[in-house]
Amino acid sequence: MQFDIIPNPAALSDEARAAHMVDPGFGRVFTDHMVTIRWTAAGGWHEAQVRARAPFQLDPASAVLHYAQEIFEGLKAYRAEDGGVTMFRPEQNARRFNESAQRMAMPELPEDVFVQACEELIRIDEKWVPGGEGSLYIRPFMFANEVFLGVKPAAEFIFCVIACPVGAYFKGGAKPISIWVSDHYNRAGPGGTGAAKCGGNYAASLVAQAEASGHGCDQVVFLDSSEHKWVEELGGMNLFFLFADGSAVTPPLGGTILPGITRNSILQLLNADGVTVKERPYSIDEWRADAQSGTLTEVFACGTAAVLAAVGQVKSTAGDFTIGNGGTGFRTEALRTRLTAIQRGQAPGPEGWVHRVNL
């Protein structure tokens, strides 16, 4: 696709950018540009632009503000040791974006255009890609901007990509997280949108996340909505359980769990190592019993932002329990080290995982 490139005349100076990149945190500091592509039912995808990051003008009747037709993705770009820039498995994000689009009755964007849009933004904002432990977090998203209050799939959408430099997710080393078992809020149900990466899922999870914080926990874990028995995932991360006999379990994808690319990558790495990973339902009762008996030695959550985070403590209305000694286990640590080295191009990984950006 042909993009019109309109450089930001007010792009930050090298000094101002450097100051912003010292301690960017997560999601508060943004690069100078954004990519936008419009879609209309009559004209398809058109008006692809790379331009100054700026607010959208939205009519108060824009469909997204009322019926939440919105999806997003999240991926990272890294500074390679030779000064180049790479992305990790972006075509997987492109594919998942379209699966989300199908579920939400939104138009699909050709996968190569999705990847190209990310590349265009990285190219113009290349200086914003941190070195060292940092990375550039890329956030592609799409929303309905048709001005109409009737309930139907919208006939106009905007696809946009923005980016923010991020430091190491865990400063001063990774601390294990504590999680709260949500006993009356659900994230997803059969036939619902649990497998789509849509803003609405997050909106629905926030009250449970707030409840978790109220119990002194970092994150909330959701159970299945039918039996309230099977462990699904956190608000934005998938879970793995590692056992003393060397085996591993992760809940199966079945429409109520988001198919994480980190989850998929870890499955492939463990399988290549000959570790038996069962994708099978795992109940909260098994989890508690296995933790207490010591059969279960490590649990970690995984996703693009945090990569891998050990789960140390689980709290619920039925009582609390600890995994192992409550710290980060050595297999979790080793997997994190290995995956981040592959993502950064410092260690060889499976064919095609590292996508070099043509700067």
Ligand X SMILES: *Cc1c(COP(=O)(O)O)cnc(C)c1O
Residues near ligand X, by CB under 6 A: 74, 197, 233, 236-238, 258, 260-263, 303-304
Choose between 26 and 244: whose C-beta lies nearer to ligand X.
Answer: 26
CB of 344 to ligand X, least distance (A): 16
CB of 137 to ligand X, least distance (A): 11
C-alpha distances in Å from residue 248, one per residue of 68, 141, 178, 237, 289: 37, 33, 20, 17, 16
Choose between 73 and 156: whose C-beta lies nearer to ligand X.
Answer: 73
Choose between 89 and 331: whose C-beta lies nearer to ligand X.
Answer: 89
Task: Please answer whether residues 138 and 87 qualify as being in contact, where contact means their C-beta atoms are separated by less than 8 angstroms.
Answer: yes
CB of 254 to ligand X, least distance (A): 14
Residues 6 or more apart from 351 whose CB is under 8 A from it? none
Phi, psi at 162, each rounded to 5°: -125, 170
CB of 166 to ligand X, least distance (A): 13
Choose between 242 and 257: whose C-beta lies nearer to ligand X.
Answer: 257
Task: Please classify residue 334 by burial: count the beta carbons closer than 10 Å to its beta carbon, then call 0-12 exposed, 13-18 middle and 19+ buried.
Answer: exposed
Choose between 74 and 254: whose C-beta lies nearer to ligand X.
Answer: 74
CB of 96 to ligand X, least distance (A): 7
CB of 27 to ligand X, least distance (A): 14
CB of 262 to ligand X, least distance (A): 3
CB of 140 to ligand X, least distance (A): 12
Choose between 124 and 142: whose C-beta lies nearer to ligand X.
Answer: 142
Choose between 62 and 238: whose C-beta lies nearer to ligand X.
Answer: 238
Choose between 222 and 287: whose C-beta lies nearer to ligand X.
Answer: 222
